[in-house]
């Protein structure tokens, strides 16, 4: 039972004989790579589908595969309830006291019984407590609660980030992303907008299309601003005012602003940004299981969240290189309503895109439902593995069988509808039919005991009590990255305003460049404070590591008291800020006084000279290197993200080597297996022949004795029968010798097979131990820019938006 710790396979349970109702010894070891063709879990309430899902996710976690779990019901947080020591005190805070009372026990006694049941259940399925510890050590785990502070909050309303270039350049993919994003946002406002007829939908779609094609990200505040002042004059052939007058646009802006200003949505603006990379990995590069608990949200909020998340997953997926190995998992529990057969909710388009495209990027999508009749089975035909549990109605069974027929197209085996109907009619709890297109036939199995304690749906107060060691340290991008990350969400804080600020804008001579940093949101209280801006391109070259990179730098520096000097040592460094730099200020803004020296061209010339010297002396490009895999980090890549890339490269290399190893041993194992089968068949034949010979001998001896007993005398016939019986004894001995030789042949073949399997396991274990990420040499290298290649661009005065009402500092 312990022979399930193999490379790249998931231990899900054991085979089950539905006819005899017997659990077999054969283990269900599911190839992890098969999940790249996605999976579907179907079963009524109580069928055990949550347990199957947790078993699958536990196995992935042990193998270091990160996952995002969308949890509309609250069950998936149970994966964080892991107790390696299996002490009653570990279970005590989580046992159901009402259930204990129904069983006539107090909570303490019930906790003791629960701990004992879990220990026995794990042992029955060949799992020890140290396997739970391995699971905890393999990944970081976290529960996110968008719109609530019980778990880790997420900044959902700031997640209209520009998609990666490959999405922006794909008109179909960009259209789908805009469609679902706008539909989700309007649904959150209670507006059931038609993409073709709705003025709101068309306007917002054009705003996002314009921004994203320019590579600009928007938040809700930015969308409000662009609804009020769109960056275009026409929509189609109509001018903007004719198509959607300013008065009507103002009403839409007010609705969006009410959403933003609502006290109930303040928590949607707090917490971590919605970053798929950070949901899958910690900042240090450790794999993560992220449970996205949305049971507390309204239906409209859930739909909006799921739509935004799926779009972010698509954007992340498209930014990854292709792979044949399993890179990550996306699991959604209960997709009823999100993927219907006829309607087209905002979540359906991105979900269908994932099912069709994610395979090429190593992203496995696993879906689950208890309402199989209300799903789009044409879309779900993209799922290569189906797990079908006990179903409630005949209608459900027929719909599932239709889906299986679609999934079986092109499979190696033949699909038998009558046989499937018979099997589905007799399934019990925790018993599933697995139809895997990578295998020739389906198999019935019972799921193993899960390592996580299945408490049931978690409440917000229970989520707050979960105490799991977390790898939450954050590595700043600039710690390893050569290029600071530009962000319109973070603006400088080092430029104090003055009480002398006024609406009069200082006048600068035409030869002094002047720019304005875009504010986070429009406000009557905005005051601009002066700073020096310096933009440059730096060339980093290193022949040994073959690095040849040009990077953009934009520095925003305070000014000296007289304005003659730019204090580059105190500057905030950014990447390319062109997307958030304007040539004109906001209307009705106020301006802090400008030091007189800053208004002179001679000062900006001095700033340019000092900027060049500062960049050469202080700027370096820090990269990470893994010589064994011949990998080096990208200029914008953090150390954690580089380690993630190393992990994936290591996994791909391991999977390739395991495939080669299997190809090397498969023919030998197959040959020995066939020889062993034939030898066992020979043993059975020899035993049958021996049994028949014994019967014939017994009959012959019986006839001889009976003739003598009846007084027939000892004639020639009697003597002949006696002689024949004596010869039969000789044949019996020969048959016994044949059985002995056949058994010896079986034993020899079995020993050879055992030795070959042991040799395979040793080589596989060697691959595992020598593909341990902790053994890799990963170190940093620092590269200075070429002095002759430092190219200074814009140098001048930049007005930074500030808020005097929060202490006179920029924000």
Tell me the sheet residues that pair with 582: 516
Mean pLDDT of the chain: 82
Task: Note whether residue 86 is domain-resident.
Answer: no
Contacts of 331 (CB under 8 A, 6+ apart): 53, 57, 67, 68, 69, 70, 76, 365, 366, 367, 368
> Do the domain assignments include residue 675?
yes
Q: Are residues 327 and 360 in the same domain?
A: yes
Tokens of 485: 């990350």
Strand pairing class (288-293; 272-273)? unpaired
| 348 and 258 housed in the same domain | no
Residue-level pLDDT at 610: 94
User: Where does a domain end: 409, 435, 466?
Assistant: 466
Return the minimum-mean-pLDDT range out of 4-8, 42-46, 60-64, 136-140: 4-8
pLDDT of residue 771: 60
| For residue 809, pLDDT beyond 50 | no
Judge whether 803 lies within some domain.
yes
What does the pLDDT average to over 31-54? 92
Type and span of the H or E element at 573: strand 572-574
User: Confidence class of residue 38 from pLDDT cuts 50, 70 and 90?
Assistant: very high
Domain span at residue 589 reads: 477-620+784-810
Comparing CA positions, the residue from 584, 580, 589 lying closest to residue 523 is 589
Q: Which of 270, 292, 318 is the last residue of a domain?
A: 270
236 and 190 together in one domain: yes
d(CA 185, CA 425): 43
Over 80: is that where the pLDDT of 141 sits?
yes
CA–chain centroid gap for 474, Å, is 20
569 in the same domain as 508: yes
* 715 & 655 share domain: yes
User: Comparing 184-193, 284-293, 376-385, 671-680, which segment has the lowest mean pLDDT?
Assistant: 671-680
Residue 808, pLDDT score: 43
**Helix pair 348-357, 171-188: axis angle to 10 deg:** 150
Q: Is the confidence at residue 291, as pLDDT, over 90?
A: yes
Identify the CATH number of the domain in which residue 358 sits.
3.40.50.300
Residues 445 and 583 in one domain: no
> Residue 704 above 50 pLDDT?
yes
* Statement: residue 471 has pLDDT above 50: no
The answer on 789 and 727 residing in a single domain is no
Task: Write phi, then psi, for 189 (nearest 5 degrees).
Answer: -85, 0
Residues in the chain: 811
Going from the C-alpha of 316 to that of each of 211, 383, 472, 631, 761, the distances in angstroms are: 19, 21, 21, 21, 36
User: How many C-beta atoms surround the C-beta of residue 506 within 10 A?
Assistant: 18
CA–CA distances in Å: residue 679 to residues 182, 735, 755, 782: 68, 15, 18, 66
Max intra-chain CA distance, the chain: 146
Q: How far apart are CA 359 and CA 361, in angstroms?
A: 5
Q: Tell me, what's the pLDDT at 493?
A: 44
The reply to whether 258 and 386 lie within a common domain is no
Residue 704, in any domain of the structure: yes
Identify the band that residue 705 occupies on the pLDDT scale cut at 50, 70 and 90.
low
Place of tokens 């006084």: 593
Q: Is the pLDDT of residue 283 over 90?
A: no
- Residues 706, 707, 709, CA angle at the centre, nearest 5°? 65
DSSP annotation of 34 reads G
Domain end, chosen from 438, 466, 494, is at: 466
331 forms beta bridges with 69, 366
Examine the domain organization and report whether 661 and 613 are in the same domain.
no
The residue among 243 and 703 whose pLDDT is bigger is 243
Q: How many domains does the chain have?
A: 4
Residue 582 falls inside a structural domain: yes
Within-domain flag for 112: no
Helices and strands counted in the chain (H then E) = 22, 26
pLDDT bucket at 85, cuts 50 / 70 / 90: very high
| Of 628, 61, 626, 627, the residue nearest 326 (C-alpha) | 61
Specify whether 675 is located in the same domain as 768: yes
376, 428: one domain: yes
Summarize pLDDT for 393-421 with one digit per residue, the tens: 888 888 787 767 665 555 545 667 777 77
Instruction: Decide if 117 is inside a domain.
Output: no
Q: Which two structure tokens, joined as six digits, stand for 300?
A: 């409209």
Residue 520 lies in a domain: yes
H helix runs in 319-457, sequence order: 348-357, 377-380, 394-407, 417-424
Cβ contact 800:528 at 8 Å: yes
- 143 pLDDT higher than 60: yes
What contacts 715, CB < 8 A, 6 or more positions away? none
Least confident residue range of 27-41, 204-218, 593-607: 204-218
pLDDT band at 701 (very low <50, low <70, confident <90, very high): low
- What pTM did the predictor assign? 0.73
Same domain flag for 537 and 609: yes
């Amino acid at each position: 039972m312990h022979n399930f710790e193999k490379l790249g396979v998931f231990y899900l349970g054991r085979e089950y004989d539905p006819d005899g109702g017997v659990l077999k010894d054969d283990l269900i070891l599911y190839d992890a790579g098969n999940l790249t063709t996605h999976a579907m879990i179907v079963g009524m309430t109580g069928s055990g589908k949550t347990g199957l899902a947790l078993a699958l996710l536990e196995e992935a976690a042990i193998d270091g595969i990160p996952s995002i779990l969308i949890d509309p019901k609250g069950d998936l947080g149970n994966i964080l309830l892991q107790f390696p020591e299996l002490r009653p005190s570990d279970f005590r805070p989580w046992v159901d006291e009402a259930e204990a009372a129904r069983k006539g026990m107090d909570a303490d006694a019930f906790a003791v019984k629960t701990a004992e049941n879990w220990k026995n259940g794990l042992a029955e399925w060949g799992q020890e407590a140290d396997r739970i510890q391995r699971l905890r050590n393999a990944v970081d785990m976290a529960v996110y609660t968008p719109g609530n502070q019980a778990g880790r909050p997420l900044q959902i309303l700031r997640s209209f980030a520009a998609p990666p270039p490959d999405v922006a350049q794909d008109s179909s993919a960009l259209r789908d992303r805009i469609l679902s994003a706008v539909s989700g946002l309007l649904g959150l406002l209670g507006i059931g907008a038609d993409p073709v007829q709705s003025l709101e939908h068309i306007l917002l779609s054009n705003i996002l299309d314009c921004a994203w094609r320019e590579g600009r990200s928007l938040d809700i505040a930015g969308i409000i601003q662009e609804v009020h002042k769109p960056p275009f004059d026409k929509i189609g052939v109509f001018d903007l005012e004719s198509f959607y007058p300013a008065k009507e646009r103002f009403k839409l802006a007010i609705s969006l602003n009410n959403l933003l200003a609502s006290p109930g949505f303040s928590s949607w603006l707090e917490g971590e940004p919605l970053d798929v990379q950070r949901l899958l990995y910690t900042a240090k590069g450790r794999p993560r299981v992220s449970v996205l608990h949305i049971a507390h949200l309204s239906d409209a909020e859930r739909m909006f969240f799921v739509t935004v998340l799926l779009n972010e997953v698509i954007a992340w997926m498209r930014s990854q290189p292709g792979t044949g190995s399993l890179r990550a998992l996306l699991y959604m529990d209960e997709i009823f309503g999100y993927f219907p057969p006829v309607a087209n909710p905002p979540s359906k388009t991105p979900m269908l895109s994932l099912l069709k495209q994610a395979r090429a990027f190593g992203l496995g999508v696993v879906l689950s439902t208890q309402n199989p009749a209300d799903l789009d089975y044409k879309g779900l035909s993209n799922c290569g593995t189906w797990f079908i549990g006990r179903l409630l109605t005949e209608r459900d069974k027929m719909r599932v069988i239709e889906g299986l027929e679609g999934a079986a197209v092109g499979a190696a085996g033949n699909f038998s509808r009558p046989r499937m109907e018979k099997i589905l009619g007799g399934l019990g709890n925790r018993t599933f039919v697995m139809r895997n297109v990578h295998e020739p036939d389906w198999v019935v199995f019972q799921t193993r005991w899960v390592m996580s304690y299945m408490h049931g749906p978690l409440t917000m107060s229970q989520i707050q009590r979960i105490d799991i060691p977390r790898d939450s340290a954050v590595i700043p991008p600039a710690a390893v990255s050569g290029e600071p990350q530009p962000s319109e969400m973070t603006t400088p804080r080092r430029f104090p305003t003055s009480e002398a600020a006024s609406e009069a804008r200082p006048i600068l001579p035409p030869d002094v460049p002047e720019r304005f940093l875009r504010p986070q949101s429009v406000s009557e209280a905005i005051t601009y404070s002066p700073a020096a801006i310096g933009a440059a391109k730096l060339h980093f070259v290193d022949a040994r590591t073959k690095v040849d990179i040009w990077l953009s730098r934009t520095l925003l520096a305070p000014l000296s008291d007289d304005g003659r000097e730019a204090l580059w040592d105190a500057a905030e460094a950014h990447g390319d800020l062109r997307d958030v730099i304007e040539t004109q200020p906001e209307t009705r803004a106020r301006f802090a006084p400008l030091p007189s020296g800053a208004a002179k061209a001679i000062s900006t010339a001095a700033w340019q000279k000092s900027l060049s010297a500062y960049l050469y002396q202080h700027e370096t490009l820090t990269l990470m290197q893994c010589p064994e895999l011949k990998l080096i980090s990208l200029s914008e890549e953090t150390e954690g993200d580089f380690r993630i890339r190393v992990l994936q490269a290591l996994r791909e290399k391991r999977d390739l080597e395991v495939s080669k190893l299997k190809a090397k041993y498969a023919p030998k194992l197959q040959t020995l297996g066939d020889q062993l089968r034939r030898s066992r068949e020979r043993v059975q034949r020899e035993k049958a022949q021996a049994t028949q010979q014994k019967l014939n001998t017994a009959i012959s001896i019986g006839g001889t004795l009976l003739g003598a007993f009846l007084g027939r005398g000892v004639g020639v016939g009697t003597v002949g029968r006696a002689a024949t019986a004596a010869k039969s004894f000789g044949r019996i001995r020969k048959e016994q010798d044949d059985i002995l030789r056949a058994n010896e042949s079986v034993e020899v073949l079995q020993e050879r097979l055992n030795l070959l399997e042991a040799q395979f396991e040793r080589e596989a274990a060697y691959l595992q131990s020598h593909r341990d990420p902790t053994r890799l040499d990963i170190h940093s290298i620092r590269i200075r820019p070429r002095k002759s290649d430092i190219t200074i661009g814009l140098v001048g005065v930049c007005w930074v938006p500030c808020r005097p009402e929060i202490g006179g500092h920029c924000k």
